[in-house]
Structures are given as C-alpha cells and as structure tokens.
Amino acid sequence: MVLTMLPDDRVRRIFDPMNANWPELVLEEWQDTLATLHMWTQIVGKIRMKQTPLVNHWWNVPLYVTARGLTTSPMSYQDRIFEIYFDFIDHKLRVDCSDGALTTLDLRPQTVAGFYHELMTTLHGLGIDVKIWTTPVEVPSPFSAVREAIPFEQDQIHKSYDGDYVNRFWRALVSTDDVFKQFRSRFLGKVSPVHFWWGSFDHAVTRFSGRPAPPREGADKITVEAYSHEVISHGFWPGGNGFQAAFYAYAAPEPNGFGDAKVKPDAAFYSKDVSEFFLPYDAVRQSTSPENTLMDFCESTYEAGADLGGWDRKALERVAA
C-alpha cells in the first residue's frame, strides 16, 4: 500500500532492484557533485563545530548517518535547540528547531556561495545567527575532489548536484555505517562513535589502546588533539582526485612490520606513500558477501596493528558468545 502512495519516479528510485545496498560509485561520473557536496557538508559541519563544546579528539565535529542522509544532531542556540540535516532521498536540507520552527531548502545544482548565503539567511530568519570561519579545511589533499580552498561565500566553481549519485553515496554510507557499528561493538576499550568527518570527507571509527601516543613532530593543535593516544582507525572514502572509492585502515603510531602484515581479503593492499592499508570499494561491492568482506578487512588490519603494537587485546575485546 505504501508503494501506491508514492509517485512513479520515487518508486523506481527507492525500490528499483538495481539500487543495491552497495551501489556502484564511479568517481569520473560524479566527481563534480562530490566536490560540491564536500563543501556543503563543511558549511553545515562548521556550524556544528561552532555550536558545540570541544570533545576529546574533536568528536563534537563530525556528522552522523541517518535513515535519510546526514545530520548534525541537536545543537544549542541560546534557549533553543536546532538541528540541520541532509535528506538524500527527497534531496532537501532541513533545519528543525525545538520551538517547532522548520525550514526546508532544496538540494539542487547550486554554487557553494549560493548554498552558503541561502543557509545563513535561513538561519537568520529563524533567529539563529552563527558566524563560522568560511575557508574550507583539509583541501586540497591527495584524496579530495576539491583542488583549491576557496572561501564559501566566494566559491562560484563548485555547483554540481547529481541527485542519483548523492543517493548512491548515502546508501554506501548506510551499509558501511552498519558494518562499522558491528565492528565497534566488539571492542570494550575506548572507541570513537561511527561518524562522518566533513573535513576529509570520510566515514570512520577509531579504536584506542588506552596508552598515550608519543608527540607527533610538527603537528598542529588539530593533529595533537586527534592523535594524543594510540589508535587503529578504519574508514571509507568515496573517492577524489583520481582515487576511486575505498576503505582504509591505519595505526598511529604505526608499529614496525605493520605494512608487511597479511590481511584479508586478497584485494587489500598497503600503500607506503600514505602508510595505510586500502581495500577498493568495488572489491567489497562485488563480493558474494560485502558485509563479511568489509568485516574481514576491519578485523584483520586491527589484529595486525594490535598484535604488533602490543595492545592488551584480552582486556580490550569482547569475547564472542
């Protein structure tokens, strides 16, 4: 009965059997949209960073996957609460307030400058005035689709929005989010939420040994806070700058021999250039069980890093029933 209530195009888009949980992501087909969306999420993410107190390792900064897109989660403003979230099914940006106020903006081909001004004008109309630093962060980078850090209010270059590909990207995030949360649940020690970093535009979860990490030479205050303790991190990049979508795993500090470890599946490889293991997204998507393939990658790279790094695995891991 629900299907009959939806327009024909919505039925095809949501329920088409070709729309698998692990959809195809070809960088060359959506890199302009990816670059634009990256900047839009930075604008929304910086609003969250401005309105929330610092949490260790900058855990107050990321966005979170929802049943329809990405959200800031609730934020305080004076005596009210508000939340901003991307709806990648109906392609809307919603601003909800605790006093019942609600504004919805269309996600459509639009410059970053236009998106920035429209959102800030909308917030002002709701009685919310937030000032953010408008220069993008973590761009350019080896894995970013954005080549130049143009202030949001001046960015007339990035203006693409392919709704089908954004929906594919979100569905890949949903599937990844589910596996990462299962992986996270197996760890008893300190572990991050599963969250989306709008700066580097990746979805990640990080486990901690419980021991402080040695200072990183030349690190800025962002990096010092992020890597104050030993970590093994796993994540998903949708691609950028010629780099196709992939999962990654790294240990910081990296123990001796980590890059030579045998990990699963066979498609995984270690890059000496960035000191990380990678698993192509397509290797997961095309496997007989994408969820198990991704979990094997997470578990095997974690075990390699934890064993070589001397982590107390017996105390940190949940014993399977």
Q: What is the pLDDT of residues 238-274, one digit of tens each?
A: 998 889 999 999 999 999 999 999 999 999 999 999 9
Is residue 10 one of the residues assigned to a domain? no
* Region of residue 92 (phi > 0: left; psi between -120 and 50: alpha; otherwise: beta): beta
Give the E-state strand segments of 229-297 in sequence order.
229-240, 243-252, 269-271, 276-280
Residue 9 has pLDDT above 50, yes or no: no
Domain closes at, from 136, 154, 172:
154
Residue 200 has pLDDT above 60, yes or no: yes
Residue 123 has pLDDT above 70, yes or no: yes
Token pair, residue 237, equals: 């990049």
* Same domain membership, residue 169 and residue 144: no
* Same domain membership, residue 137 and residue 208: no
Q: Which residues are CB-neighbours of 176 under 8 A, at least 6 positions away?
A: 203, 236, 247, 294
Is residue 321 one of the residues assigned to a domain? no
Given this model, what pLDDT does residue 321 score? Answer: 55
Is residue 78 one of the residues assigned to a domain? yes
* Same domain membership, residue 121 and residue 91: yes
Domain total for the chain?
2
* Region of residue 251 (phi > 0: left; psi between -120 and 50: alpha; otherwise: beta): beta
pLDDT tens digits for 201-212? 999 999 999 999
* Same domain membership, residue 290 and residue 173: yes
Residue 8 has pLDDT above 50, yes or no: no
Is residue 14 one of the residues assigned to a domain? no
Residue 221's pLDDT band, with cuts at 50, 70 and 90, is confident
Residue 10's pLDDT band, with cuts at 50, 70 and 90, is very low
Token pair, residue 18, equals: 């070709």
Given this model, what pLDDT does residue 100 score? Answer: 97
Is residue 19 one of the residues assigned to a domain? no
Q: Report the 10 Å Cβ neighbour count for 26.
A: 13
What dihedral angle (degrees, nearest 10) is formed by the CA atoms of 293, 296, 301, 303?
Answer: 180
* Same domain membership, residue 99 and residue 174: no
DSSP string, 29-67: HHHHHHHHHHHHHHHHHHHHHHHS---GGGTTS-BEE-S
Residue written as tokens 């195809």?
24
pTM: 0.92
* Same domain membership, residue 190 and residue 95: no
Is residue 15 one of the residues assigned to a domain? no
Domain closes at, from 154, 187, 219:
154
| Whole-number Cα distances in Å, 142 to 138, 237, 287 | 10, 12, 27
Residue written as tokens 């982590």?
311
Residue 7 vs residue 78, higher pLDDT: 78
* Same domain membership, residue 196 and residue 121: no
* Same domain membership, residue 208 and residue 291: yes
Domain closes at, from 137, 154, 171:
154
Residue 91 vs residue 220, higher pLDDT: 91
* Same domain membership, residue 309 and residue 219: yes
State percent of the chain over pLDDT 90: 86
Given this model, what pLDDT does residue 19 score? Answer: 43
pLDDT tens digits for 155-177? 999 999 999 999 999 999 999 99
Token pair, residue 25, equals: 């992501």
- Domain with 88, as residue range(s), is 24-154
Given this model, what pLDDT does residue 165 score? Answer: 98
